[in-house]
Amino acid sequence: MRASPAWWLSWCVFAACGGEPYTTPPPTPATYETFTITLEDGVVEGQEVRPMALLRARVVYKGDLARNLKVDVTITDVATGEAVQVPSGLLGAGDATTFNQPDSWVASHEWFKKAGRYEVVLTASILATLRGSTPWTVSAPKVVVVSSARLDSVTVSGLAVGAPTLYGTGLTVSAQGEDLWDDVALKVDNLDTSLPVPGLTGALASDAPATTLSSQWEVNSRSLEKVGVHRLQVVARFGAMEVKSEPFSIEVTHTVDQVVLRVRDANDTFLGGEPSTRMDRVKDFVLTITGTNLAGHDVFITGGPLVTAPADSFDVVRVPSVDDFEDGKGTHQYQYYAQSGGIVRSADVGMRRWRLESCGWYKDGAPVSGPVMADTTVMMRATGWGFPDTSGILVFKVNQAEFKIWERDDGQNDTNLPQPFVNNDDEVDAWKADVVSSVSEDDWRARFDEEPDFLGFGGAEYYFEVRIQDEKCTSGEIVVPSP
């Protein structure tokens, strides 16, 4: 059989006609019409700016489909030639054929904490979506950040003259220099131990070039709260630069060492240390304040005027009140401070003025057991202690309990995943009931209110929620069989 010309041509091309084998031509490379990054606000090539200057830029792209548009910043130390790149996040993560994106950068790099000249270049890059593409880049005109950063000294003012300064005295710490455009870090060294004072760190805040930064500072640390004189020195740092203040002395003449809070009942018996003590059992609090060389010194104690300490250890009494609680809130954290000579100690205790302890279904005065037939009257009861009785009339009643009945219906969750914070059950009824002697109860006529049961058996499962003030309780379930 004679072969067709088409077959012959195909065989010739791929086998034996002596020509070059056929190859797929390479794809046309991606191209763009426009890709630029320009500086705004009239900034031009070589313009000098100071640290914290805001450089605004705009990136414009028009071309083949591309993604991952971003702008990186390159900083070069003119004196050394050393360079560092500051990466940025994506300006445009999606695929598009056009971008017109603003961007900005604040000249706040750590390098600028050293005096010098730094060339800054903003470079935009974008990647075409065509397989095998490499990022295109384009740079904005360079600017020069001129930093005169210098940290000359740190001083402490407000010190006593000719004598040590009393512990707890408010002092002023100041740093002097040039182009202090960022925070100046502070710490305090203990010259007696040659170690930093624990917890005594801070900063003089700055967000623009400055020559002087100052702040009020109270030099206090548990490690210094011992009677005696302590020799100290403030150390300030800005970048790699460090300066120290003149040494100075702080004196601790007396201390408050401890505050112990005990709860006393009506029988003058001290109660145990429950995390949340029942208010209806409490008569008062007894605070025992203990210190060193404390006798004769004024002590401020929460809830009263200054007290002159009669001894190094003494008691004061405070009486709690329901007025201390926020409206509708059943718990309150009492915290008492004792302060003298710049030293503060405290103690606290939690107090509860009411609690909802139980709730459940009742029938004929006893907890429900077993199924409940439809049309049977059952009682919902919530019991606790400390709640105010309902007051007012009709719709103006206050302090009532809020009941809500639910019918269990887990079948409404069709996500096949647990939903611990979603209630898929059906709300059946809701109303309010009076509270008398911290008990609230009301009747409900049981009914079968389940979705159709195609298997012909089963029952409706009910439970109720009750809320009194800020307390909430969820009952157990009762089952109403299918009629």
Q: 0.85 cut: is pTM over it?
A: no
Half-sphere exposure of 110 (CA within 13 A, CB side): 8
Query: pLDDT tens, 287-297?
Result: 999 999 999 99
| 322 neighbors 279 (Cβ within 8 angstroms) | yes
Sequence-ordered list of residues with C-beta below 8 angstroms from that of 191, at least 6 positions apart, any chain: 231, 232, 233, 247
Q: What pLDDT sits at residue 422?
A: 53
pLDDT confidence tier of residue 27, bands split at 50, 70 and 90: low
Question: How many residues belong to the chain?
Answer: 483
Q: What pLDDT sits at residue 414?
A: 52
Query: pLDDT tens, 135-182?
Result: 999 999 999 999 999 999 999 999 999 999 999 999 999 999 999 999
Which single residue is written with the structure tokens 């100041």? 174
Pairing mode, if any, of strands 48-49 and 143-147? parallel
Query: pLDDT tens, 260-271?
Result: 999 999 999 998
| 414 neighbors 387 (Cβ within 8 angstroms) | no
| 314 neighbors 279 (Cβ within 8 angstroms) | no
Token pair for 177: 């220099």
Q: What pLDDT sits at residue 2?
A: 43
